[in-house]
Amino acid sequence: MLWGPAPAMAPGAPSSSPSPILAVLLFSSLVLSPAQAIVVYTDREVHGAVGSRVTLHCSFWSSEWVSDDISFTWRYQPEGGRDAISIFHYAKGQPYIDEVGTFKERIQWVGDPRWKDGSIVIHNLDYSDNGTFTCDVKNPPDIVGKTSQVTLYVFEKVPTRYGVVLGAVIGGVLGVVLLLLLLFYVVRYCWLRRQAALQRRLSAMEKGKLHKPAKDSSKRGRQTPVLYAMLDHSRSTKAASEKKAKGLGESRKDKK
């Protein structure tokens, strides 16, 4: 089938080319698409004793590979304070500790960006360290997202957490239950084994009793004809001796 030339478009007819609005939307969706929101994770709160050290954990999730331009920033807001100050910064593969503030000689970088870890350690804790620490992560082009906060509580002696006590109690109860179950199954196994042994012995004794009467009856069956034969032989012997004695008596009478 042959196609002819396309008909000429009449003057004033609407154009079939895409509208400028669609072109702008397509360009913005392909080139100017927004980055995925980065997600930062920290503990809700941590406890530490005076003079000890504490680790402030910070990790993140990103839709992008870990960039060489990744950065971590820690800020501190004192308990009851309004403003937060920067106390630590990591960028271009190097940690930077702010020279201002009470943490300048007590912060240690222990994170590893390759494992998406931006944790720090604070040494020689003091009551004045109570407050809120904020971790902020940027992983270009993934730079949009919320920060995460952890609250530090410093005590003279770290109190035992209710969750730890409850976990220990539950663990102890479960341990006792498992021990009792194990003991029950061991006792039951021993009892069943003993019952099986007794059952085998009883079965063996019953089989022995059944075989013994059968053997006795067979012996009696073999002994009965022998007894009858001996009895007949004794009777015949007695009759012959009586007959012989009688014949001798008669012969003596004839001689007289």
Assign residue 114 the CATH number of its domain.
2.60.40.10
User: Do 184 and 79 share a structural domain?
Assistant: no
DSSP state of 40: E
Contacts of 134 (CB under 8 A, 6+ apart): 74, 75, 76, 77, 84, 147, 148, 149
Across 16-25, 59-68, 170-179, least confident range: 16-25
Give pLDDT tens digits for 227-247: 556 656 666 776 677 666 666
The helix (run of H) or strand (run of E) holding residue 145 is: strand 145-146
Among 192, 207, 222, identify where a domain stops. 207
The pLDDT score that the predictor gives to residue 98 is: 83
Does pTM surpass 0.95? no
166 near 58, Cβ under 8 Å? Answer: no
In a domain, 234, yes or no: no
Lookup result for tokens 């002696």: 157
Looking at per-residue confidence, does 32 or 34 come out higher?
34
In a domain, 181, yes or no: yes
The pLDDT score that the predictor gives to residue 254 is: 57
The pLDDT score that the predictor gives to residue 7 is: 46
The total number of structural domains that make up the chain: 2
User: Do 190 and 166 share a structural domain?
Assistant: yes
User: Do 93 and 51 share a structural domain?
Assistant: yes
35 near 138, Cβ under 8 Å? Answer: no
**Host domain of residue 188:** 161-207
User: Do 90 and 195 share a structural domain?
Assistant: no
In a domain, 217, yes or no: no
User: Do 55 and 76 share a structural domain?
Assistant: yes
User: Do 186 and 82 share a structural domain?
Assistant: no
DSSP state of 141: T
* ∠ CA 250-253-256, rounded to 5°: 155
User: Do 174 and 151 share a structural domain?
Assistant: no
In a domain, 84, yes or no: yes
User: Do 165 and 138 share a structural domain?
Assistant: no
In a domain, 231, yes or no: no
**Token pair for 2:** 């042959």
